[in-house]
Amino acid sequence: MKTDETKEQGTYTKIVYVQFEGSTKSYSFGSNIEYKKGQNVVVETIRGKEIGTVCAPTIEFDPSKVKGDIKPVIRLATEYDLVQKEENKTKAAEAMTVCRKCVENLGLDMHLINSEYTLDRSKVIFTYVSEQRVDFRQLLKDLASQLHCRIELRQVGPRNKAKMIGGLGNCGMETCCSRFLNDFQTVSINMAKNQLLALNIAKLSGQCGKLMCCLRFENEEYTRLREGLPKINSQITYEGKRYKITSMNVIQEEAKLENKEEILFVPFKTLWPDRKLDDE
User: Domain-by-domain residue ranges, the chain?
Assistant: 9-77, 82-156, 180-225, 227-280
Q: What is the DSSP string of 51-90?
A: EEEE-S--EE--GGG--S--EEEEEEPPHHHHHHHHHHHH
Q: Which of 97-101, 175-179, 190-194, 245-249 has the lowest mean pLDDT?
A: 175-179
Cα–Cα distances in angstroms (integers) from residue 147 to residues 9, 47, 56, 96, in the given order: 34, 17, 37, 11
Say what the pLDDT of residue 3 is. Answer: 53
Instruction: Give the residue with greater pLDDT, 118 vs 172.
Output: 118
Pick the CATH number of 82-156 from 3.30.300, 1.10.3470, 1.10.1660, 3.30.60: 3.30.300
Instruction: Give the residue with greater pLDDT, 1 vs 267.
Output: 267
Pairing of strands 26-31, 71-76: parallel
How many Cβ atoms sit within 10 Å of the Cβ of residue 197? 14
**C-alpha torsion angle, residues 140, 145, 146, 147 (rounded to 10):** 70
Q: What is the pLDDT of residues 226-251, one digit of tens each?
A: 888 888 899 989 988 999 999 999 88
Residues comprising the chain, all counted: 280
